[in-house]
Structure 1
Amino acid sequence: MLYNLLYGFHTEWSWLNVFRYITLRSIGSAITAFLVVAFCGPAFIRWLRSRQIGQVVRDDGPETHWSKRGVPTMGGLLVLAGMGAAVLLWCDLRNGLVWLLLAISVFYAGIGAMDDWKKISRGNSRGISPREKLVLQIGGAAVAAFILLACLHYNGRLSLPFFKSIQPDLGWWYLPFAVLVIVGASNAVNLTDGLDGLAAGPILTTASTYLVFSYAAGNAVIASYLQIPYVEGAGEVTVFCGAIVGACLGFLWFNCYPAQIFMGDVGSLSLGATLGAVAIITKQEFLLVIVGGLFVMEAVSVILQVGYFKLSHGRRIFLMAPFHHHFEKKGWPEPKVVMRFWIISIILGLLALSTLKLR
């Protein structure tokens, strides 16, 4: 909004030229999102407590989690408010990619809100059915992918990390592939959100990494030099990623151990889907497997656990899935699990950034 309102006057006031710089607007976006979440956080937490919107904990979960019952949840609404304010303030609102990412964030937040509310109202860990949730997720992702291909004229080419010359074109088969990326990322982040600050940290790392890639993809000269696909308009995705980074930093202020508020499905499903959409828009879909490797490990641990449990008639690979609960069962304190998972996420982010040159 600032860009649209003020940059038009740069011919009269030359200092307004600063608003055309994506780097400045990305920093402004991150700071704005952080301040919105940080300042609104205490009042929002009090409001959730007054409405008794608290965390529901499974009886078969780790015993250390029983003390988390009643802690305010649905904090993802606060994160999305910070993100939305920053995006509307600092992005070029004429860019269709910005509105598409906002639509994905809001739609998946709606799915998560329904799930969270059913859990809270029923007083147990059962929200909407997995089938209903999956149908809604696939439907939303399919619409988003169709808009990219049909309306925004995206091609179906894939970009593979480390292999600059291999760019297979999927054509319209790219649509189901894009659905898989968005839905997979959404559910993987949702599974990771099980400890204080565990999901917000890796989301921050992933968004920071894609901030760099979206900036490079949106600049024709840099994209050509680095031999990555040039995506017209992707520069504004940089500002959007800055909003995610700032909002997650602000949320961590309240979500770090011991958490005053939890993200809930309204946050994890939405942020996961948004990161998946950013990966698609920047044509760095497979990079998400690297930078979001922690999310992948968490999702795979659940798949392996459930599959092995059924095949072996009751035996388990891990003490408990998702993966982070396995280490809790082994006696690791919760902060140790979170910090070590953050370290893994940062290393994976650095590895992902190295693919810019290792091609």
Structure 2
Amino acid sequence: MARSVVVFGEDWGGHPSSTQHLFRRLGEDRDVVWVNSLGLRRPTLTRRDIVRAVTKIQKAVVGGPQTKKVIAKPSRLTTIDPRAISWPGNRLAAAVTRLAVGAQVRTALAQRRLHKPVLWASLPSAVSVLDACGGGPVIYYCGDDFSALAGVDHTPVRLLESQLVARADVVIAASDELASRFPRGKTLTLPHGVDFELFSEAAPRASDLPVGRPIAGFYGSVAEWLDIDMIAQAARALPGWDFVIIGNIETDVGPLLGLPNVRLLGPRPHAELPRYVQHWTVSLLPFRDTAQIRACNPLKLREYLAAGTPVVSTDFPALTPYKHLVAVGDPASFGSVIRQAADDPSFHQARKLAVATESWSARAKIVADLMESL
């Protein structure tokens, strides 16, 4: 029988993270207790934080409105809305969270008659709860550079991460850059996978894509790690192109407003993204050069490649294995590189083949074998 797991991750279904992609597969043949986000920053008195806090309290205490699910939940995966105080570095908050969430997890384990599960932490904030869960070996899954990630209280979270690394039996890092920061003897690199069938199999064109002109497209969080000025400069340099951007806007996009060939479409469900990426002319990875990007392993890179569409990107380390299939530009050349990539229809099949064996199912098999070996 496959080992059971307690996962401390993001809110299930709110965003198709790498952890959710893995446990969508791993949860098919094992029991998984998934604890929704314990938080990585102290809430502020902004409307967004107040609404989020009230919603989480409702869900944890009285069963409030549920997040719209964008990724299927396996039949053997149970979610817990934690009765937690999000305040990294605060001892009282950690103590209250340890007692409350520990009790929730132990109750869920007892109800399902699970003993000594693997404890999987995708967030450093989980370290304060681990010893209260009655579990077995600990895996720290590091998918991001939390010391540079936007929206995180960096100083206390760095300390929590160091405590978690010391507590963990195994550290799994999503990139070589992240792996280099942890003890070599217990760290392995596991690059992100891809839902290959979803992105490689032909999908109908989305009805809200512009027609009649070439399209440069991007999907994902429109956040501070995107080079908005570079996108605007490329859009002005290519007035005969449409620039389509899909995702929540979390940063200043002023330079894009008023440009007639830029379309900000807002977010779309993950399952709908092939209807866009397969039908625009060039896929974009217009990242700024930041510590977070240098350590990242973006999920969309492999999704773009699985779709077969030409990819234009700025340079960052995780791009290295695919550089022969990606056109790389900088702020000065990005527009011309987009134009050149569109003129070269080759490598469509090669892009797909490059990630055909890198499915999330293949990644999950590696994780499953690791957990059974602990």
Q: One fold, TM greater than 0.5?
A: no
- RCO higher in 1 or 2 (8 Å CA, sep ≥ 6)? 1
Structure of higher CA gyration radius: 2
Q: Which has the higher helix share?
A: 1
Q: TM-score normalised to the size of structure 1?
A: 0.25
TM-score (norm. length: structure 2): 0.25
